[in-house]
Homo-oligomer: A and B are copies of this chain.
Amino acid sequence: MIDKLIEKIQKTGAPIVVGLDPMLSYVPEQVQKKAYEAYGETLAGAAEAIWQFNKEIVDKTWDLIPAVKPQIAMYEQFGIEGLQAYRKTVEYCKEKGLVVIGDVKRGDIGSTSAAYAAGHLGKVQIGSKTYAPFDEDFATVNPYLGSDGVRPFIEVCKEEKKGLFILVKTSNPSSGEFQDQLVNGRPLYELVGEKVAQWGEEHMGSSYSYIGAVVGATYPEMGKALRKIMPKSFILVPGYGAQGGKGQDLVHFFDRDGLGAIVNSSRGIIAAYKQEAYKEFGPENFGDASRAAVEAMIADIRGALG
């Protein structure tokens, strides 16, 4: 799957991922209205609204991009019905040939991580049958519990040729509270980065590992250090755009070959129609606004990478 991701990045020339994080406030009124007419102002109505919103954005951008990253919290907040929209979104994006990174940030003790891994990346056995319940291509994982919380995910990835992005240095303002604490003179996130590099050796693709890392665009200097600590790990870079990261900040997350990183934008793409720069599209053409925002993001990053 890491090889497929790289192949698609090379084909599209776009090391980017669109974050499908559909807050209801991003969904244009006409889409919400139609969904509520069909399902009422219910969890099912909200789920329908975010699914239709996603579908339009995917339909308007899939040919430009290698991957999407649905943030499961935005679906889980609408309960079972919301999670059905998540499942449908994953499935639809895979049909479109997109690589799907499930931003689930799971992580627990061994047997529990094994259950999450089976549900999201692998298969479960029920009597004589097997099922792949959520079936994302990659998942994000929280490392706070250490190796035996991460390894069950790696085991499933090996079986299924799938991958992980493990939280190393997150993009949010208070990420440093624990992640930057110095351990023997070095920040904790570097230790986590070293572990990611080690775990990555257990499951290599042809040039990069299936086991990648999350490092926020908002911390470019740290990205530079981590790029060296994890030479074979792909870096998923959130925080571009709405969170403040810019193309020029991202150069050091990449290798000289222009690979090694994939930059996520969520709000900046999916709610583009709300921005001054794209308001001419209007809410009715929100998908076209997203396409224009994807094109601008690709140009920005290509420009920065030279």
Interface residues of A (CB under 8 A from B): 21, 23-24, 32, 36, 41-43, 45-46, 71, 73-74, 76-80, 82-84, 87, 105-113, 115-116, 118-120, 124-129, 131, 133-134, 142-149, 167, 170-179, 181-184, 188, 191-192, 195, 238
Contacts and interface: CB of A to CB of B under 8 A. Distances in A.
A144 B168 CA distance: 9
Nearest to A110: B172
B178 A149 contact: no
B145 A108 contact: no
Contact of A175 (B126, B134, B145): B145
B24 A73 contact: no
A228 B257 CA distance: 53
A172 B176 CA distance: 25
Given A74-B112, A106-B73, A133 B171 contact: no
Contacts of A147: 174, 177
A178 to B, nearest CB: 6
Contact of A126 (B45, B110, B124, B143): B45
A181 B178 contact: no
